[in-house]
Amino acid sequence: MHNLTYSEDERIIFTKEMKKTYKILIPNMLPTHFELLKNILNLEGFNCDLLNYENSKIVEEGLKYTNNDMCYPCLLVVGQFIYALKSGNYDVNKTALLITQTGGGCRASNYIYILRKALKKAGFFKVPVISLNLSNLEKNPGFKLNLKLIKKFISALIYGDLLMDLYNQTKPYEKIKGSSEELKKKWTEKLIMQYKTSTNFGKKIMTKNFNSIISDFSKIEIIKLKKVKVGIVGEIYVKYASNANNNIEDFLYNENTEVIVPGILNFIIFKVDNRIVDIELYGGNQFKKYIYIKFKRYLESLQQILINTMKKHKQFSVFESFEEIKKEVKPYISYGVKMGEGWLLTAEILELVKSGVKNIICVQPFGCLPNHIVGKGMIRKILSKHSDVNFAAIDYDPGATKVNQENRIKLILASARENLNKT
Partner 1 sequence: MKDVNFKIGLDVGSTTIKCVVLKDEEIVFKCYERHKSLVVEKTIELLLKIEKILENKPFKIAITGSAGLGISKKANLEFIQEVYATKIASLKYFKDVDVIIELGGEDAKILFLTNGTEIRMNGSCAGGTGAFIDQMAALLKLSLKEFNEYALKHEKIYTIASRCGVFAKSDIQSLINQGAAKKDLAASIFQAVVNQTIVGLAQGREIKGKVMFLGGPLTFFEELRNRFKETLKLSEENFIFPKNSEFFVALGASIFSSHGTTFKTDFKSIIKKLKEKNEDNFKNSLPPLFKNEDEYKIFLKEHKKLDVKFEEIENYSGDAFLGIDAGSTTTKIVLITENYEILYYKYLSNNGEVLLIVLNSLKEVLTKIKDSGNKIKIKAAAVTGYGEDLIRNAFSVDFGLVETLAHLTAARFFVPEVDFVIDIGGQDIKCFKLKNKAIDSIFLNEACSSGCGSFLETFAKTLGFSISSFVEKGLFAKNPVDLGSRCTVFMNSSVKQAQKDGASLEDISAGLSISIVKNALYKVIRAKDKTKLGKNIVVQGGTFLNDAVLKAFEDELNLKVTRPSIAGLMGAFGCAIYAKENSLENSTILNLEDLTNFKYETNFTKCNHCQNKCNLTVHKFLNGKIYVSGNRCDYYNKGLVKNSNFNIVEFKYNLILNTPKKIKRTRKVGIPLVLNMYENLPFWASFFESLNFEVVLSDESNRKLYELGQASIPSDTACYPAKLVHGHIESLLKKDVEFIFYPSMTYNFNENISDNFYNCPLVAYYPEVIKSNIKTNKKIIIENIGLNNVNYFEKTAFKIFNKYFKVTKAEIKKAAKNAYYAHNKYKEKIINYAKNAIKFANENNKNIIVIADKPYHIDPEINHGVDKLIIANDCVLLTADAISFLTKEKVKTKILNQWSYHARIYTAAKFVAKFNNMNMLHLVSFGCGIDAITTDELRSILEENGKLYTYIKIDEINNLATVKLRIKSMLAAIEETKKLKTKKEHVYA
86 binds partner 1 (CB under 8 A): no
What span, in angstroms and rounded, lies between the C-alpha atoms of 11 and 254? 45
d(CA 37, CA 298): 20
296-335 binders of partner 1 (CB under 8 A): 332-334
Which three-class secondary structure state does DSSP give residue 234?
strand
Residue from 3, 45, 56, 422 touching partner 1 (CB under 8 A): that is 56
Pick the piece of the chain touching partner 1 (CB under 8 A) from 39-47, 162-170, 228-236, 412-420. Answer: 412-420
Q: What are the angstrom distances between the C-alpha of 15 and each of 57, 143, 145, 280, 413?
A: 31, 8, 14, 38, 52
Q: Is 408 in the site for partner 1 (CB under 8 A)?
A: yes
Q: Does 420 bind partner 1 (CB under 8 A)?
A: no
Smallest distance, partner 1 to C-beta of residue 231, A: 17
User: Do 59 and 77 touch, CB atoms closer than 8 A?
Assistant: no
Query: Applying CB under 8 A, does 281 fall inside the site for partner 1?
Result: yes
DSSP code of residue 319: P
256 is a site residue for partner 1 (CB under 8 A): no
- Cα–Cα nearest to 322, from 341, 342, 303: 303
| One residue of 175, 177, 380, 422 binding partner 1 per CB under 8 A | 380
Quote the DSSP letter at residue 222.
B
Q: Does 403 bind partner 1 (CB under 8 A)?
A: yes
CA–CA distance, 301 with 35 (Å, rounded to integer)? 24
- Give the separation between CA 151 and CA 145, rounded to whole angstroms: 10
Judged by CB under 8 A, the stretch of 100-108, 155-163, 305-313, 314-322 that binds partner 1 is 100-108
Least distance in Å: CB of 81 to partner 1?
Answer: 14
H-only helix segments in 171-316: 179-197, 203-218, 236-240, 248-254, 265-282, 286-313
Using CB under 8 A as the binding rule, whether residue 373 contacts partner 1 is answered as yes
**Exactly one of 24, 71, 97, 154 binds partner 1 (CB under 8 A); which one?**
71
- What is the number of other CB atoms lying within 10 angstroms of the CB of residue 265? 21
CB-nearer residue toward partner 1: 119 or 265: 119
Cα distance between residue 5 and residue 275, in whole Å = 33
The reply on whether position 399 binds partner 1 by CB under 8 A is: yes
> Binding to partner 1 (CB under 8 A): which residues in 348-367?
366-367
247 touches partner 1 by CB under 8 A: no
* Residue nearer to partner 1 on the CB measure, 106 or 214: 106
Q: Where are the alpha helices (DSSP H) in 48-110?
A: 55-65, 72-86
Which of these ranges, 118-126, 193-201, 241-249, 353-361, lies near partner 1 under the rule CB under 8 A?
118-126
**Closer residue to partner 1, CB minimum distance, 23 or 64:** 64
Q: Does 141 bind partner 1 (CB under 8 A)?
A: no
